[in-house]
Amino acid sequence: MNTAEYWIQNLDLKPHPEGGFYKEMFRSNILINKDELPVGYKSSRRLATSIFYLLRSEDISRLHRLKSDELWYFHYGSAVRIMYIDHVGKKHTKMLGSNLEKAEYFSMHIPAGNIFAAEVQEPNSFSVFSCVVSPGFEFEDFEMFDKEDLIQAYPKHIDFIEKYC
């Protein structure tokens, strides 16, 4: 039970394009019509979706962006550092975990449109958490980046971009 492989196998997780492993656990039956969504969505969306997600210390969740808000919920393992660049280009770092004395929190919000990445903090470890996306996740809303484009847009964050893109 204390290995990433145990959780990957028993939760039936598959590799995620951004890094790590995932499995969708929930897709709302409530459908939001395209004309009721914010500008930028190409089709209707479910009210919310949720996945289990696992990151190992040798993995990173590479820089990416979603059109929707995302909530992360810590379940098990090592703390996870979540870093994001907001709409005005400011970089933020937050910790997802269970040690409140180290400013780790059981949940956190990543606002829609922010560019973000994540990594497990302890070597030779892993973390299991859930992510809820609302409006619901569709891969057409998932945006990975070309490193050079991000460096041009956010030159003051070059070291961050070099590591996580």
Mean predicted confidence (pLDDT) in 157-165: 95
Rounded distance between C-alpha atoms, residue 61 and residue 118, angstroms = 5
**What's the fold here for domain 4-33+42-164?**
Jelly Rolls (2.60.120)
Long-range contacts of residues 6-9, Cβ cutoff 8 Å, at least 24 apart = 7/54, 7/76, 7/126, 7/128, 8/54
Task: Give the mean pLDDT of 57-80.
Answer: 97
pLDDT band for position 1 (cuts 50, 70, 90): confident
Tens-place pLDDT, residues 105-120: 999 999 999 999 999 9
- Residue at token pair 């449109």: 113
What is the C-alpha separation between 163 and 157, in angstroms, rounded?
A: 10
Spatial separation of the C-alpha atoms in residues 27 and 48, rounded to whole Å: 6
Percent of the chain at pLDDT > 70 equals: 100
- Which residues contact residue 17 at a Cβ distance below 8 angstroms, ignoring those fewer than 6 apart? 142, 144
